[in-house]
Amino acid sequence: MSFRSIYLAALTSLLFMVACTREDRILRPAPSSAYTLNTVQVSGLNPGANPVPPSPPPNIYQESAYAVSEGQRLYEQYNCVGCHAHGGGGMGPPLMDNYWIYGSEPQNIFTTIMQGRPNGMPSFRNRIPEYQGWEIAAYVRSLSGLLPKDVAPSRSDEMNVKPSESSMPKQTPTGITGRPETRP
Amino acid sequence: MNYWTVIHAAILHPALLSALIHQTGATDLDPGPHNALRPVSPQGGQIEWLFWLIFWICFIVYVLMVVGFGSAAAKSAAGTDEPPPIIEDEEGDRRASWFVGTATGVTVLSLFVVLVLSVIAEKRVEDTPKENAVTIQVTGHQWWWEVNYPNSQADHTINTANEIHVPIRTPIVILTKSADVIHSFWVPSITGKRDLIPGMSSAFSFEVKTPGVYRGQCAEFCGLQHAHMGFAVIADIPQDFEDWQQQQLRDAVEPVNPQEALGKKVFLTHACLMCHAIQGTQAGSRMGPDLTHVGSRRMIAAETLPNIPGALGGWIIDPQQIKPGNHMAPNGLQGEELQALISYLQSLK
């Protein structure tokens, strides 16, 4: 093998290291974080534009395949499927479409899980640790293709009629006004 | 308390070691024998017999090989670079080919004997009588064992975890299932390994002759905490087994003092009830081990820690330090609440 091809191979393998956050795992998360729920507006009704999300969560939950697959497991185990099915909805609204009543940012979804919403969504505050809320929020986003394809789960243990999360077409989130969400 | 528990604790959680050493009264924490060469069941006896048969055949072959190579080395004309002269010796050639042929025949025959005896031993392991058997459903989870004693009457079903109580001299039928990945059920002192495969159920049976505690272990790599996925088979005389069943069928005991009452409240208002069940309370989730009678178990966290207040507290506060990657979440319980929760869980005999 020539020096040139070794050099090229080394350069290519350096490129692969760019994607390494995908495999990051936090096995020992803090039991609670400094994230304060009360700064978040809970109503979808607000003057002017759609809900503006508060400060974003740590990126690890959106970028780690492990965190998202933990979210997938918890989505089953905490019985989110009971109302939202595997994204198609039922008693609760579908999660695989582009329509977001309370905003599509991870912070919005986290707030929905932790605080609950009118008409049936229960509050999981004090019942699940915050890091699990973030993991579930990341998984919920993968249901409508909002996560990078290399992070979203590519297989499921449950029977599903929809394609795997990593193959979901990306939906452009729209809010209650039907217009695309404004991003800060 | 014995040295094994201490070594376990020292490896897993150095801070627990001092707690353990100062703990008194923790005497029945013996993990039990974990030894396929001291079987306590007819099934284990078959496997042990087969092991010794193959061992001695291999031993004889090994000795013959060493002797053969040794004598050949002694005869060789070492130290000369010249090739040996070619000798025409028809009588010698005939003897050599007779010897090689016989040796090949003996090798094939002994392998064949091993094959036939393996099949016979396996057949005998399978042929355990199953009349009046005690049926136990074992489900492998990452990284613990769910144990159910099914009964046609729902309120006579026992749910427990990681400790399998069986009566001696009674056929036991184990039904297997897996909740996530492939696990393998292995109690060396009792019988061979059985894989638990997701989406498939299978059954096997055994019978224990001697009362005692026999350690089991997951024997199929199943993820981060595979090595800490232990369990115990506790073989009792039938009368003790009956008593244990009656005790397990009862609802969880009610708190008898204010501290335990607070502990129960903590359990029902924090993350605990999202995964664990306590029969007789509102907690009914089946994601984690059933805790209705957790106080009556010897060990916690799948044979990882002794069931003493210190270890239990360490496990509740920071399970990810003891078994990183396991599905129990750390939680931020503080002083009084934690103490109350520990004493409530310990009271659940």
Give this complex's ipTM: 0.77
Q: pLDDT (tens digit, 9 = 90+) per residue, B162-174? A: 999 999 999 999 9
pTM, two decimal places: 0.81
Residue B203's Cβ-side half-sphere holds a number of Cα atoms within 13 Å equal to 13
Give A54-155's CATH code, choosing from 3.30.360.10, 1.10.760.10, 1.10.3720.10, 3.40.190.10.
Answer: 1.10.760.10
Please check the confidence at residue B5 and state whether its pLDDT lies above 60: no
Contacts for B330 with CB less than 8 Å, ≥ 6 apart = A28, A29, A30, A31, A129, B317, B318, B319, B320
How far is A12 from chain B, CA to nearest CA, in Å?
Answer: 30
| Domains of chain B with CATH codes | 3-30+251-347 (2.60.40.420), 134-247 (2.60.40.420)
Q: Which residue in the block uniquely carries the two structure tokens 């809900």?
A: A51
Taking an 8 Å cut-off on Cβ atoms, the answer to whether B269 and A126 are in contact is yes
Q: DSSP state, A170?
A: P
pLDDT at B21: 42
Is there a cis peptide before residue B143, judged by omega within 30 degrees of 0? yes
Q: pLDDT (tens digit, 9 = 90+) per residue, B274-322? A: 999 999 899 989 899 999 999 999 999 999 999 999 999 999 998 999 9
For an interface test with B, give the residue of A24, A124, A157 to mutate (most B CBs within 10 A): A157
pLDDT at A53: 53
Q: What is the mean pLDDT of residues A32-41?
A: 51
CA distance to B1, B2, B10, B237, per residue, from B26 (Å): 5, 9, 16, 23
- Tell me the chain B residues in contact with residue A132 when contact means C-beta distances shorter than 8 Å: 329
CB B244 within 8 A of CB B346: no
Taking an 8 Å cut-off on Cβ atoms, the answer to whether B332 and A31 are in contact is yes
Q: pLDDT (tens digit, 9 = 90+) per residue, B68-79? A: 999 988 887 666
Mean of all residue pLDDT scores within chain A: 80
pLDDT at A180: 75
DSSP codes, B174-235: EEEEESSS-EEEE-TTT---EEE-TT--EEEEE---S-EEEEEEE-S--STTGGG-EEEEEE
pLDDT at A157: 77
Provide the CA B149 distance to its chain's centre, in angstroms: 18
User: A35: pLDDT confidence band, cut at 50, 70 and 90?
Assistant: very low
Question: How far apart, in whole angstroms, are the C-alpha atoms of residue A68 and residue B133?
Answer: 44
Highest mean pLDDT out of A85-94, A100-109, B232-241 = B232-241
Of A29, A73, A128, the CB nearest to B274: A128
Q: Amino acid letter at A93?
A: P
pLDDT at B331: 79
User: A171: pLDDT confidence band, cut at 50, 70 and 90?
Assistant: confident
Q: pLDDT (tens digit, 9 = 90+) per residue, B96-128? A: 899 999 999 999 999 999 999 999 999 999 888
Taking an 8 Å cut-off on Cβ atoms, the answer to whether B271 and A78 are in contact is no
pLDDT at B189: 93
